[in-house]
């Protein structure tokens, strides 16, 4: 099998056997309750705070981060950590303010939230939106990027076999329900972190060894900072020019700024990305919705701590690959995709550790596929099938419908990734997911945030908001520059050239995080104007219980610790 040795295969098989056996044991132990929908979809009341936190991270960290974020680390550096570090702040906000709303109102799915707060039409439109997004953007990209990365490590001849294997492994876990996913995710996260840290440690020692600074990880990190100082800045300055050719240094500055538009993104899309992903997303909130408030909060904050350390695992190897490549030690990356950076680093690993790293990568991919498929199944079964197709379906039928939905969604994702029909490889994995998720994030987040915290928001405003948010996102992304030009008081569009499938393409675009910010702003303004024409208090508005905002001492200590660590990181790398 490519460059894997017997010990690598043994380590990987051990991981597979342990996860599968533990999942089967959990399934048998809880077999009676798996016939119950709340248990199958939510593992109601049975996940501990550490299982919730681990499951959140296992579902979130996937090929998108290992391959995509490592690729962005190779390309742009530490600035891409904003996605991980601001996620920790988003998790604090969600733990303190969002969770009380969900749990007090017994919300189990995101469309259910929209039905209770607004109306059936909004809930149905969003249920369909989410199903399409989860299947055609998330499942496909996770499967494609993951299979492509593992395939690279095995010699490059096994792409379709790996796709099928990843799908089957995810199906085994997912069909056991949320409880099996939640508890197997604890092992997945342990493997992911141990394998990821081992890869980072080895990458840093390799850098140190190549530059003759002693062979230690700390020396390797110092070498990275010396060799690529521009890769250790969190905030990119706004480029002075608005066009550049591929052979100009400014071209690279523009490409970086388009993906991570400096300080502007902190006032625009970054908050929408993170708060929408962590707080209004079935795939994520599902882990916490079955627990009591204190347990849910601790689980979310535990995930926040892990998010702070994730750039060490998923971004540093990319910077190490950049420094090695720049100094002629990774010729295989010449003219290749930045998404090959992580695989190139894994090629340096010794026997045994390579197996562990592939196990970590597989753990991340499988856990994400399982979590996403479970969310697809939950939304389809509870919000579409039970409401519109078979209102009298019993618990057993609903669970089996959920299992069929899991299988069908995985099969559709496999068909679309078989020949990369959606062009995920060309876009760059991390950017592909962020960009296309960003088409619906502004409208969805506007609808949720106003629905939760402004009693006047109406169902009509929500319906207009979700459609308008999508239309505005498409408009800013595809048509604004043609109509209004490249420089306005709203945005600056940048013209630059990039390589795509061996050809030089000239691209003109507004940074997509800026697009998201303006789409959200105009959507909120429109929703507020529409709602002001309605009653002062919408009859469907949530009643807030202030006592639920009280935090336990443990939760308070966790929040303060997260914010202090984050402040120290920004002070150091601004």
Per-residue pLDDT at 430: 62
Per-residue pLDDT at 34: 47
Give the separation between CA 72 and CA 412, rounded to whole angstroms: 28
Q: Are 254 and 74 in contact (CB under 8 A)?
A: no
Three-state secondary-structure class, residue 499? strand
Contacts 24+ apart (CB under 8 A), 342-346: 342/66, 342/67, 342/70, 342/71, 342/149, 342/317, 342/318, 343/67, 343/149, 343/152, 343/153, 345/70, 345/199, 345/202, 345/203, 345/206, 345/317, 345/320, 345/321, 346/153, 346/199
Phi, psi (degrees; rounded to nearest 5) at 102: -65, -50
Nearest to 195, CA basis, from 362, 18, 43: 362
pLDDT(281) > 70: yes
- pLDDT tens per residue across span 84-130: 999 999 999 999 999 888 888 888 778 888 889 998 888 888 888 88
Per-residue pLDDT at 1: 42
Give the separation between CA 403 and CA 394, rounded to whole angstroms: 15
Per-residue pLDDT at 36: 54
Q: What is the DSSP letter of 30?
A: T
State the average pLDDT over residues 348-352. 77
Q: Are 34 and 399 in contact (CB under 8 A)?
A: yes
Lookup: tokens for 544: 């807030």
Q: Which carries the bigger pLDDT value, residue 321 or residue 188? A: 321
- Taking every pair of Cα atoms in the chain, the longest distance, rounded to a whole number of angstroms, is 72
Give the H/E segment covering residue 128.
Answer: helix 120-133
Q: Which range, of 372-386, 418-432, 463-477, averages the lowest pLDDT? A: 418-432
Lookup: tokens for 553: 């001492």
The sign one gets for the Cα dihedral 498, 504, 510, 516 is negative
Confidence of residue 174 (pLDDT cuts 50, 70, 90): confident
Give the separation between CA 137 and CA 430, rounded to whole angstroms: 11
Contacts 24+ apart (CB under 8 A), 563-568: 563/89, 563/92, 565/308, 566/85, 566/88, 566/89, 566/308
- pLDDT tens per residue across span 433-444: 767 777 888 999
Give the H/E segment covering residue 497.
Answer: strand 494-500
In percent, how much of the chain has pLDDT > 90? 21
Per-residue pLDDT at 33: 47
Q: Are 220 and 207 in contact (CB under 8 A)?
A: yes
Q: Are 473 and 438 in contact (CB under 8 A)?
A: yes
Nearest to 449, CA basis, from 239, 274, 193: 274
Give the separation between CA 434 and CA 422, rounded to whole angstroms: 15
Lookup: tokens for 538: 């919408």
Give the separation between CA 488 and CA 481, rounded to whole angstroms: 9
- Helix, strand, coil % in the chain, rounded to nearest 5: 75, 5, 25
pLDDT(262) > 90: no
Q: What is the DSSP letter of 238?
A: P
Q: What is the DSSP letter of 350?
A: P
* DSSP per position, 140-208: HHHHHHHHHHHHHHTTSS-HHHHHHHHHHHHHHHHTT-HHHHHHHHHHHHHHHHHHHHHHHHHHHHHHH
Give the separation between CA 37 and CA 52, rounded to whole angstroms: 19
Domains and CATH numbers, the chain: 6-573 (1.20.1730.10)
Question: pLDDT averaged over the chain?
Answer: 83
State the average pLDDT over residues 304-315. 90
pTM: 0.83
- pLDDT tens per residue across span 156-169: 778 888 889 888 88
The two beta strands, 503-509 and 494-500, are antiparallel
pLDDT(307) > 70: yes
What's CA 426's distance to the chain center, in Å? 19
pLDDT(524) > 70: yes
Lookup: tokens for 103: 């749990």
In percent, how much of the chain has pLDDT > 70? 89
Helices and strands in the chain: count of H runs, count of E runs: 28, 2
Give the separation between CA 7 and CA 114, rounded to whole angstroms: 51
- pLDDT tens per residue across span 444-479: 999 999 999 899 999 999 999 989 999 999 999 889
pLDDT(493) > 80: yes
Q: Which range, of 141-150, 478-487, 500-509, averages the lowest pLDDT? A: 500-509
Q: Which range, of 60-69, 105-114, 205-214, 514-523, averages the lowest pLDDT? A: 60-69
Q: Which range, of 178-182, 188-192, 292-296, 452-456, averages the lowest pLDDT? A: 178-182
- pLDDT tens per residue across span 22-46: 777 777 776 554 455 555 555 455 6
């Amino acid at each position: 099998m490519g460059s894997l040795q017997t010990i690598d295969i043994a380590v990987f098989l051990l991981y597979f056997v342990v996860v599968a056996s533990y999942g089967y044991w959990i399934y048998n132990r809880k077999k009676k309750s798996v016939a119950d929908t709340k248990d199958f979809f939510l593992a109601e009341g049975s996940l501990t705070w550490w299982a919730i936190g681990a499951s959140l991270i296992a579902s979130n960290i996937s090929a998108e981060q290992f391959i995509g974020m490592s690729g962005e680390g190779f390309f742009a550096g530490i600035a891409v950590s904003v996605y991980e570090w601001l996620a920790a702040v988003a998790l604090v906000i969600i733990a303190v303010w969002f969770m009380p709303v969900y749990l007090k109102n017994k919300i189990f799915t995101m469309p259910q939230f929209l039905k209770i707060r607004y109306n059936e039409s909004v809930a149905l439109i969003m249920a369909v939106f989410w199903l399409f997004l989860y299947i055609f953007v998330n499942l496909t990209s996770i499967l494609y990027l993951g299979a492509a990365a593992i395939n690279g490590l095995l010699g490059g001849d096994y792409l379709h076999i790996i796709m099928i294997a990843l799908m089957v492994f995810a199906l085994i876990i997912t069909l056991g329900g949320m409880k099996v996913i939640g508890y197997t995710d604890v092992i997945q996260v342990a493997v992911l972190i141990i394998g990821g840290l081992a890869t980072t440690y080895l990458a840093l020692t390799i850098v140190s060894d190549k530059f003759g600074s002693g062979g230690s990880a700390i020396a390797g990190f110092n070498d990275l900072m010396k060799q690529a100082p521009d890769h250790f800045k969190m905030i990119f300055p706004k480029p002075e020019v608005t066009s550049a050719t591929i052979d100009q240094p400014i071209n690279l500055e523009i490409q970086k700024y388009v993906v991570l538009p400096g300080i502007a993104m902190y006032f625009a899309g970054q908050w929408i990305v993170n708060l929408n992903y962590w707080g209004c997303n079935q795939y994520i909130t599902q882990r916490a919705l079955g627990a009591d408030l204190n347990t849910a909060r601790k689980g979310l904050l535990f995930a926040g701590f892990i998010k702070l350390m994730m750039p060490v695992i998923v971004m540093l190897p990319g910077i190490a690959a950049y420094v090695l490549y720049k100094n002629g030690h990774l010729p295989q990356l010449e003219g290749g995709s930045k998404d090959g950076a992580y695989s190139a680093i894994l090629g340096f690993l010794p026997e045994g550790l390579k197996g562990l790293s592939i196990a970590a990568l597989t753990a991340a991919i499988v856990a994400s596929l399982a979590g996403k498929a479970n969310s697809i199944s939950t939304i389809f079964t509870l919000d579409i099938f039970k409401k519109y197709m078979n209102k009298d379906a019993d618990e057993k039928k609903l669970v089996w419908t959920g299992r069929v939905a899991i299988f069908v969604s995985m099969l559709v994702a496999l068909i679309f990734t078989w020949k990369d029909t959606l062009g995920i490889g060309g876009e760059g994995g991390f950017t592909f997911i962020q960009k296309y998720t960003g088409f619906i994030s502004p409208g969805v987040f506007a609808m949720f945030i106003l629905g939760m915290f402004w009693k006047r928001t109406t169902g009509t405003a929500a319906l207009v908001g979700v459609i308008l948010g999508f239309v505005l996102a498409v408009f800013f992304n595809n048509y604004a520059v043609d109509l209004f030009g490249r420089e306005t008081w709203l945005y600056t569009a940048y013209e630059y050239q990039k390589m795509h499938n061996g050809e030089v393409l000239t691209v003109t675009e507004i940074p997509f995080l800026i697009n998201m910010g303006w789409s959200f702003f105009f959507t909120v303004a429109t929703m507020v104007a529409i709602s002001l024409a309605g009653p002062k208090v919408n009859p469907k508005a949530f009643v807030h219980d202030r006592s639920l905002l009280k935090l336990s001492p443990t939760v308070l200590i966790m929040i303060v610790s997260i914010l202090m660590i984050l402040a120290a990181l920004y002070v150091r790398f601004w």
